[in-house]
Structure 1
Amino acid sequence: MTEAIQAEPMPAAVRAARFIMTLDVAFGLVGIGVMIIVGAVAFSPAYVLLLLYVVSTTALMGWLISRWQSRKKAVRWGAVALELVLSGGGLVVKAVDGDLRWTALLGLVLPLAVVVLLLTPAAGRWFDR
């Protein structure tokens, strides 16, 4: 007979990071829908680049979430890198728009929270198996 091996449960920090990333994907899909509708009216090359950025980061984030249970180091570091790109990209978009007030920068809190959560020792142990 085979024995059941008790797997280490996912730490709270990793669960919270996955939940935030899932919310990011959901809001990203809604944003893509809105951008497509608006893009039919206000079409420009810069708008297409912005749409491409949103679609690619949302798709990559969804793919990382689907690979989460593999517990590979590459998934953890890929998520950290992607969230840093998202926060950096958000900062660039805010700077181009000239909207660098602290209230406008609150949208960068969630990607940075995911980075902090994934850099905790508990997350490192869980992804290292």
Structure 2
Amino acid sequence: MASHEGFVRAFLDEGEALMRLLGAWAERGATQIGSLGVVPAFVAQLLDGVAPARARMAGSTGAADLSPFAADSPADALTARELDVLRMLSAGHRNRVIAEKLFVSELTVKSHLRKINAKLGAGNRTQAVAIGRAKGLIP
């Protein structure tokens, strides 16, 4: 299902261990991928996304930095939960309401807001919403 919808981020967020497992699976069952209902290009896209990330972590520059998985891209930098918080923030919700809707504590929401501000380069919640809208992360 993920391959047909292009849900790449869910796999990449799981980290290196899942990517190693996916790589091993792809090598062993390369001829069976399509017959299992998985789009082969999707698996290749996932595995290609790991190499540029490793190159960036090693400090290299160049074409790898243009990858759709580049950490410089705000959509990739923010986690799914941080995007949820940013969307609710843009709707005008206060920390308490966001916490209640996400079933977390207000301290957790504040932590997410600090991380959002740092990743987007925002000085406050209003700037975070403005930057998020400008980058197309939220409507």
TM-score (norm 1): 0.35
Which structure's relative contact order is higher, taking Cα pairs within 8 Å and 6+ residues apart? 1
TM-score (norm 2): 0.33
